[in-house]
Amino acid sequence: MSIDRLNQGNSTRRLLLSAVACCAFLALTPAGSAAEENGALEGHLDWGQTYRITAPVAGKIEAIEVRPGEHVDQDTALFRLDTRRVEADLRAAQAAIERLQLELNEANREVEKAEDLYDQTLIALREVELARIQQATVAARLAEARAQRDRARADRDDATIRAPASGRITRIDVSPGQFVNPALAPAVLAVLGSGDSMRVRALVVPERIHSLSEGQEVTITIGEYEFSGTIDRIGWELVGKDEDQRYRVEAEFSPGDDAVLRPGQPARIELRTNS
């Protein structure tokens, strides 16, 4: 083999090694670094608030009023539980109240009668005290019955499970006829994502964290949509490993009613740095 061919082979190998090294460098470069150089952060869309809806009382699910993906307003009925036992407790409490109210009326009359007789020195003070004790006992039982009635009313109201906020139902994990008991295992009936405000979560390199501030105005781009927002949170701890450690940054915005957005969509935060 001639010296020229040997040198030519070495040059070819050096070019190949250089190309491989360049590709390796590009592969190891953190995602979004090019965007950061232009003052933008690449992130992903998420709900502004996520609610895990549980049943406050035990009962059988009688009806499911919504479907996954449906948008609901605050206080919209989502689930209805069977209320037959609650209604029975409520009727029993109301009957006890009516009976005890009659007993209390009679006890009040007995106290008035005893006090009148005592004033006439016809009975001893002990008789008056016994009448007052009976009056207090019946009054306490009446108060307890009223508390049971109020608790039954609250359970009846809680049997209709309503949306804690406006948003979109992302998941339903129960079926009609299923029994739920929060005292044993508080099952998640559904997950609701509040879309009144949404947020973009991104990561920023430590060198740029001091140029950001909470409340800073930003422009958020998601596909064909563009929104005005503000930086809502800046993390205090690094996440990631070794040289790729970064801080979490969250920007909040209001999408409005026309935009159809889903959590997980790629989003870009354009920073409006103060001059």
Contact 56, 161 (CB under 8 A): yes
Judged by average pLDDT, the poorest of 179-183, 194-198, 215-219, 229-233 is 194-198
Helix axes 125-158, 84-119, angle to 10 degrees: 160
Question: 66-98: b or e for each residue (b if 16 or more CB lie within 10 Å)?
Answer: beeeeebeeebebbbbebeebeebbeebbebbe
- pLDDT tens digits, residue range 112-147? 999 999 999 999 999 999 999 999 999 999 999 999
Q: 84-120, pLDDT tens digit by residue? A: 999 999 999 999 999 999 999 999 999 999 999 999 9
pLDDT value, residue 5: 43
Residue 191's DSSP bridge partners are 52, 171
Question: Would strands 266-271 and 40-54 be described as parallel, antiparallel, or unpaired?
Answer: antiparallel
**What pLDDT, on a 0 to 100 scale, did the predictor assign at position 75?**
95
CA atoms of 60 and 175, how far apart (whole Å): 10
Instruction: Tell me how far apart the alpha carbons of residues 143 and 146 are, in angstroms, rounded to a whole number.
Output: 5
